[in-house]
Structure 1
Amino acid sequence: EIINIILDEIYKLRNVGLEKLPGVGDKRRDALEKLGLYTLYDLIYFFPRRYMDFGKLTSIGRVRNGESVQIQGEVVSVSHNISRRKGIDILKVRFFDGTGSINGVWFNQPYLAKFFKRGKRYLLMGKVKYNFGEWQIENPEFEELRGVKNSSNEKIIPIYPQTKGLSSKMISRYVEEALRIEAPLIFDPLPKTILRKRSLLNIKLSLYNIHFPKNKKLLNLSQKRLIYEELFLFQLFLLLRKRKIKEKRGRVYSRVKDLREKFLSSLPFSLTKGQLKVIREIEEDLTSGKVMNRLLHGEVGSGKTVVVAYFLYLTAMNGYQGAIMSPTEILANQTGEVIKRFLSPFNIRVEVLTRSTKNKKRIKEEISRGDIQIVVGTHALLEEDVVFKNLAFVSVDEQHRFGVLQRAELVKKGEFPHTLVLSATPIPRTLALSLYGDLDISFIGELPPGRKPVKTYVFPGNMREKAYKFVRKRLIEGEKVYIVCPFIEESEKIIVASAKKKYEEFKEIFKGFK
């Protein structure tokens, strides 16, 4: 009921398009859509990337070189000329506040001259420089003052991700207008009891101050409130999903003890205590009559694959089909080979299905007839014409590489199949419980004998050179280095490292290496 109310209110908000904003034509709408903004709701939740904090008001006589400040002053002169040498249009406005004078300088923005009139007072925000024997502030933000500004007020300016034809200042104006239009429709999903208990701001105050903070305290309180709301709703959805799954009836596996002994005796090695503990936890799920929905977490090399192989074996021996989905063709082929090797003593048919698999049509037909008991594949498993006869067990490798919807698509191929997702991402247990709240969690907490532990180091930005030294040393010793970036190309929506840009950068840094 709570979720339905929240979704209804969000739908009302999302139903108001950008055409409601004054001054937004086709060209401006296209620019907004480039940033993923299609409705006023999108604009309201398009939070600033960072903020420029100009602190409290500073008198002109006390400014310092290189300092970001907010100052107020009266216009004493306005001059406009074009630099002969560079052809740059320069607008220079001189301000005086009783303690000193400073020039506001704008380049190639002659239209701004009409905003400045002698005798009027303005608030300026920007970085101060001392050039040619006088103080100046280049391309500052400004606003006209009615009366004298209180020196105790802070000034914090939001800076948004931008795109061609759309500055941060324009986006700021559109956000302000969107908040005004949507104000009557904004619904607070957090109950008042939680707001009081957690000392949280209401939603309207939080949204306004995340975009236009009156001071640092309100900005911090707004961020705290919106972070709490996101996690609260995320957990609520996950817990409801978990409850729904628990209501379903799952396939019951039989002859577990005998089958386990046969499988373990076929292995050329012994399992660790951690692997055996996890096996017992999953066996309890498969014999309970409920649908299993579990995360198996363990470091690289901890032996997750053999655990999955055992449950695929158990699935086939109980007369059902099993599937494991990997994020790439290379991983799917590697996993397929390993699973085939583990299951070869038991006459179980295992096939790999990826985009480049030969005889795909034949394999799909044999899957639909139930002739193939275990299928290892990529996203190709999600194709419409992949139909299972009796899918009872689904495993998703590298869970973080797939979305919740993709996992659900594979699960839909069977009638409430048991689901085991795998992750090697080193995250603390408490965080895992938050991220995967719809899943029960099993941990393999040890590595098999002889495996070297994985070491993780974090280098902050100011230690970049130290990290490069470490990489260079490894390269000199003949080792390989992998560098992973979140994007292939640069994104206009988010400021992150792109593979193409980093490739060019590292070619220069590590000259002499391939």
Structure 2
Amino acid sequence: MLNESVIHVKGIGEKFCQQLVDMGIETIEDLMFHFPHRYDSYEIKPLSELIHDEKVTIEGEVIGEPSLTFFGKRKSRLVVQLQVEQVVVKAVMFNRAFAKKQLNQGDAVTMTGKWDQHRLQITVSHYKKGTAKSETSIQPIYPLKGSVTNQQLKKAIRTALNQYGEYIQELLPDQYLLEYKLPNRTQALKQMHFPTSFQALKHAKRRFTYEEFLLFQLKMQWIRKRTKEATVGNSQTYDQHKVQSFISSLPFPLTNAQDRSLREILDDMKSPYRMNRLLQGDVGSGKTAVAAICMYASITCGKQAALMVPTEILAEQHYQSLLDMFDGLAEVVLLTGSVKGKKRREVLEKIQEQKADIVIGTHALIQDEVVFKDLGMVIVDEQHRFGVNQRRILRDKGLMPDVLFMTATPIPRTLAISTFGDMDVSQIDEMPQGRKQVDTYWVKDNMFDRVLKFIEKEVDNGHQAYVICPLIEESDKLDIQNAVDLFTNLQHYFEPTIHVGLMHGRLQVEEKDEVMKQFASNDIQVLVSTTVVEVGVNVPNATVMVIYDAERFGLSQLHQLRGRVGRGASQSYCILIADPKGEVGKERMKIMTETTNGFELSEQDLQLRGPGDFFGKKQSGLPEFKVADVVHDYRALETARKDAHQLVNSGALETDPAYEKLNQLLTEDHILSGTLLD
């Protein structure tokens, strides 16, 4: 019934129906669950309780005649003096000249707007004659589109609830409603649209927050369980003695966090199910060492291992470091787009005949021509959520390897739970001993000359520097230093003694690789770049990271960029050139100078920017919740995850009648019909 078109709701004609469809509201259920995005409160409070700069509602009596001033084309300012609790309050209205005739001395009025405590003034956004008694104290404000008004939508929702309210089905079992003190679904829905009190609204929001998180986590846990069950017989019984011997041969002891993550991964490898795990660790925390040990464990089972990275230069760097690590213990080969002709044929042959134990490469690794004999482990480094298509390609090759993703973006626990809910997560949250912290400074633009002299001094000492800026070419919209201009300026400043290079996202892959090779070999001493330099490249000789217009970046991105330096034995420096206007920007710069802990920074970034901006809007991968907020409602998220895990893994979801509605909803959902697993 609720899946029928909104045209069946009384009072909705064809024109209004089409307007609603344009807003994404097609069914009666869509209409009922189109929630307000905020609520205006018309609760009258004493003047002494009003908060400066907040939206408030006051009642008063007009004293004297309102004063009207015109300025510019069709612009006006109306000032009305009100007597409120024996105090004179000034009410200011912009571009409402008509109100002068409506408001007369002695009239009682109710006005809502922004309160200025210091001037005893309200800037009015909404007013009505008479007292607030006849006004609803909490007014829902809906997201709208086109010519649909708030009043129209509110009326349609009220009619839909009256007409079809009896068909709303409860999804949550009584046990959860009682345990978490949640209202039932029908009550909560009515309170979301027509709240009787702030307390009732709060409970309704709590209910839908939990419901959204539970449904999402059930999907994640269900997919996870089904993926695991589809891969029984995937156990890798590695040689513990050999693996321990390999760990002992490393030139450094593992940190506690590395050791803990390693145990979690090795346990996954031994289990009969296919591994799907995320390993997060700050830049320099030692993820590669953990990856090497896991690949070696797979080799001791007689299998092959592959490491996929985003760029050729990174593949070459990993290849060199793993050759040193596996000295004689394993055959390591490199396969990238640059490996051509006879050399390529030889590498492909080695992979097919299992003469190659470990294959390092870019996405070239999953192309048709690459045939593994027995692939046991795939490790994907940096930013590649190894997607459904890639898994399908491996499966079509008859391969079901354990998969480990690695990222140097420290993701807060709340985001890791929601974004990677279908994966297990391991964290390396401590740094190896003896690693020098990067000294971070925040300076204003007028100190740029001093920064350049500092770069010069570091280069004279044999070191190198990055200079990062946000845009490639000049933009009228943003007054930001851009890479091309900056490159030209620095060339004039430093040459002929210091070579300056330029890198940005519009260069071809080969051009980027060439620039990075020149920088890695110190043919370029100062590299001007946009943020494409963020991922992975290891230049231990670079000791200075200058970030222009640093206020334009989030904390996590700044931290990633800072992680490009401090990779060698010398002391390194990060200099943020920024002149933030707002408090949030200033706070970000301050936090950057005070901490180098990526996980701490990511939590702060989440608080300051919200989840939508954390990964960047496009690739955030976050589900869009209507009511829930992964930052502020993290306790509900943890609870929902725990409940979902218990329901799915105990089998209660499918066998206990109390969960019948939840199970039915999930079974009907196309996500669970196999599309995500194909």
The answer as to 2:293 corresponding to 1:310 is yes
Gap runs ≥5 in structure 1: 1-8, 458-465, 491-497
| 1:269–1:63 distance in 2 versus 1, CA, 3 Å | closer
Q: Where does 1:96-245 land on structure 2 (aligned, <5 Å)?
A: 105-107=93-95, 123-127=110-114, 138=123, 140-142=125-127, 149=133, 154-155=137-138, 158=141, 170=149, 174=153, 177=156, 181=160, 184=165, 186-207=168-189, 209-210=191-192, 213-245=195-227
| 1:422–1:159 distance in 2 versus 1, CA, 3 Å | same
Deviations 1:316-348 (A, max 9, x none): 454434333446666555445434543453452
| 1:48–1:283 distance in 2 versus 1, CA, 3 Å | same
Q: Is the 8 A contact 1:43 1:178 kept in 2?
A: yes
Q: Is the 8 A contact 1:327 1:402 kept in 2?
A: no
- Bigger drift between 234-243 and 300-309 goes to 234-243
Displacement of 1:194 in angstroms is: 0.5
- Bigger drift between 304-313 and 117-126 goes to 117-126
Deviations 1:91-122 (A, max 9, x none): 96979899789767341797x99999999987
Partner residue, 2:622? none
Letter in 1 for 2:114: K
Displacement of 1:154 in angstroms is: 3.9
**What is the root-mean-square deviation of aligned Cα atoms in Å?**
6.1
| 1:504–1:189 distance in 2 versus 1, CA, 3 Å | closer
Q: Residue 243 of structure 2: which of 243, 256, 260 is its match?
A: 260
Q: SS at the partner of 1:419?
A: strand
Letter in 2 for 1:289: P
* Partners of 1:304 and 1:291 in 2: CA distance: 21
Q: Where does 1:448-467 land on structure 2 (aligned, <5 Å)?
A: 448-452=432-436
Deviations 1:208-266 (A, max 9, x none): 54566544323432332233223323332333334334433133435613542564466
Displacement of 1:407 in angstroms is: 7.9
Q: Where does 1:323-402 land on structure 2 (aligned, <5 Å)?
A: 323-326=306-309, 334-343=317-326, 345-346=328-329, 348-353=331-336, 359=340, 369=352, 374-376=358-360, 390-398=374-382, 402=385
Q: SS at the partner of 2:328?
A: helix
The answer as to 2:47 corresponding to 1:56 is no
- Bigger drift between 201-210 and 187-196 goes to 201-210
* Partners of 2:338 and 2:97 in 1: CA distance: 60
Partner residue, 2:400? 416
Q: Is the 8 A contact 2:66 2:103 kept in 1?
A: no
| 1:286–1:70 distance in 2 versus 1, CA, 3 Å | closer
Q: Residue 56 of structure 2: which of 26, 49, 69 is its match?
A: 69
TM-score (norm 2): 0.50
| 1:294–1:137 distance in 2 versus 1, CA, 3 Å | closer
Letter in 1 for 2:126: E
| 1:25–1:237 distance in 2 versus 1, CA, 3 Å | closer
Displacement of 1:149 in angstroms is: 0.7
Letter in 1 for 2:375: L
| 1:67–1:432 distance in 2 versus 1, CA, 3 Å | closer
The answer as to 2:74 corresponding to 1:88 is yes
Same amino acid, percent of matched pairs: 29
Q: Is the 8 A contact 1:336 1:376 kept in 2?
A: yes
Q: Is the 8 A contact 1:397 1:422 kept in 2?
A: yes
* Partners of 2:372 and 2:7 in 1: CA distance: 45
Displacement of 1:195 in angstroms is: 1.3
Displacement of 1:378 in angstroms is: 5.6
Count of aligned positions: 461
Q: SS at the partner of 1:234?
A: helix
Letter in 1 for 2:331: I
Letter in 2 for 1:217: Q
| 1:295–1:344 distance in 2 versus 1, CA, 3 Å | same
Letter in 1 for 2:233: G
| 1:500–1:507 distance in 2 versus 1, CA, 3 Å | closer
Deviations 1:265-295 (A, max 9, x none): 6644454565455445443443443333344
Q: SS at the partner of 2:171?
A: coil
Partner residue, 2:579? 509
TM-score (norm 1): 0.62
* Partners of 1:483 and 1:179 in 2: CA distance: 52
Q: Is the 8 A contact 1:293 1:418 kept in 2?
A: yes
Q: SS at the partner of 1:509?
A: coil
Deviations 1:1-47 (A, max 9, x none): xxxxxxxx9xx76x8689997656989977x57xxx88887777676
Displacement of 1:80 in angstroms is: 12
Letter in 2 for 1:141: H
